[in-house]
Structure 1
Amino acid sequence: MSIAHLLEDFEINLMDPGLVRLIDEDGLEEIRLTAFEKGYSAGWDDAVQARTEDNGRVTAALARNLEDLSFTYNEALTQMSLSLEPMFESLMTTVLPGTMDKSFTHHIVEQLKSMAREQVAQPALLIVPSGVGAVLKPVLDQEFSFPVQLVEEASLPDGQACLRIGAQERDVDCSSILVSISEAMESFLYQAKEVS
């Protein structure tokens, strides 16, 4: 006995009038156009989605690279700043004080010239720290045709001087320049250490 009656029959009878439908050329063209539009639309959507995903990956990669680059730049800048600390300390303790000492006389002469132009024929008084007068006296005699009274004051710190011509008075303070430069260098190094 056969079990064929228990199984479903998938055989199609193509001659069955309910199954066969004839399509005219216009209907067939419309089916083709609809299929083309669906395929084109699906392809376009896939391309847009792929482009969006690519843009997202590129943007994320760019952001990571920029972050790495920024970190590397800041790290390099910090390391460079910290490696310059001994040079800055040497500059502040050795080079700049010597330079200021050498330029102290020049500052005083320039200030006196400026004041002398404004206060012609007035007596000049220059108050300097102890021990500086011997260096300044030959320069003052050479630079000025009018007499400059030179007074050494023990209480006056190195790098400072007081100039008076008539009623006008000016202070020369090279040591405050050194302090300002030193504070700026210390602040810079402190910030560089904080970043690292």
Structure 2
Amino acid sequence: MTRFRLEDFSAPRPAKTVAQPEPPDAQDVRLKAFEEGYKAGWDDAAAAEDAARARITADFAKTLQEMSFSYHEARAHMLGALGPLLTTMVERVMPQIAAAGFARTVVETAMQLAETQADRPVRIRVCPENRPALEDVIAADPGLPLDIVDDATLGPGQALVAAGTAESEIDIDGMLSAIRTALDDFLTTQKESRTHG
């Protein structure tokens, strides 16, 4: 029979030496602690700056919104107060001004046509009620060869001035009507925008 030889564990073994870590250098410890503290301080400062920026942005947005609301509110009040004034001007004042200057406008238009059509007489067609005012203006400057013709189809603010083949139309009534319509549309739009925000 063969015998197996088994290892003997009873004998003491030589102890393995474990390498002891070198003690850290005090300078390295301080440098590492400084860098960690610096990084933490930098992170805190960046977070504080981001928070301040977010707060300032929110405050600025709120201020702009309040200013915008105040502007639109003031504009709405101003237009609400000016609406009746503008309407009165278009309905009463402008027609009087237009009527007062109607005869002069017709004569100026006739003179411009006379310059381009020098060899032809100028014919002015107006409603019968405008004839006296035109004759008064023309009487002040009799050198212009004008022929005034009554035309009952024309309104008080309308005139047709012709010389040869050239013709000009003066329509103060149409202009005033267009101004009235534009003002009404504008005021209606403003009123609707105030109602619907």
TM > 0.5 fold call? yes
Q: Can you give the 5+ residue segments of structure 1 that lack an aligned partner in the other structure?
A: 1-20
Counterpart position of 1:84? 82
Letter in 1 for 2:171: D
Counterpart position of 2:104? 106
- Supply the distance in 1 between the matched residues of 2:122 and 2:23 (Cα, whole angstroms): 120
- Supply the distance in 2 between the matched residues of 1:39 and 1:101 (Cα, whole angstroms): 87
**Identity over the aligned pairs, expressed in percent?**
32
* Deviation by residue 1:30-70 (Cα, 9 ceiling, x = unmatched): 01111111111001000000100000010011001101101
Alignment map for 1:43-58 (pairs within 5 Å): 43-58=41-56
For the residue of structure 2 that corresponds to 1:78, the secondary structure is: helix
1:33 aligns with 2:18: no
| Equivalent pairs, count | 174
**CA RMSD of the aligned region, Å?**
1.6
Of the three residues 176, 180, 183, the one matched with 1:178 is: 176
Letter in 1 for 2:107: V
TM-score by length of 1: 0.84
- Supply the distance in 1 between the matched residues of 2:30 and 2:54 (Cα, whole angstroms): 36
Letter in 2 for 1:194: E
Runs of 4+ in 1 over 4 A off after TM superposition: 21-24
Task: Check the 8 A contact 2:107/2:134 in 1, yes or no.
Answer: no
- Supply the distance in 1 between the matched residues of 2:76 and 2:100 (Cα, whole angstroms): 34
Counterpart position of 2:186? 188
Counterpart position of 2:126? 128
Letter in 2 for 1:32: R
Residues 92 and 173 of structure 1: CA distance in aligned 2, closer, same or farther (over 3 Å): same
Letter in 2 for 1:42: A
Letter in 2 for 1:81: L
For the residue of structure 2 that corresponds to 1:151, the secondary structure is: strand
TM-score by length of 2: 0.83
Please identify, of 47-56 and 176-185, the stretch whose mean Cα deviation from structure 2 is larger.
Answer: 176-185
Task: Check the 8 A contact 1:78/1:195 in 2, yes or no.
Answer: no
- Supply the distance in 1 between the matched residues of 2:157 and 2:131 (Cα, whole angstroms): 13
Counterpart position of 1:6? none
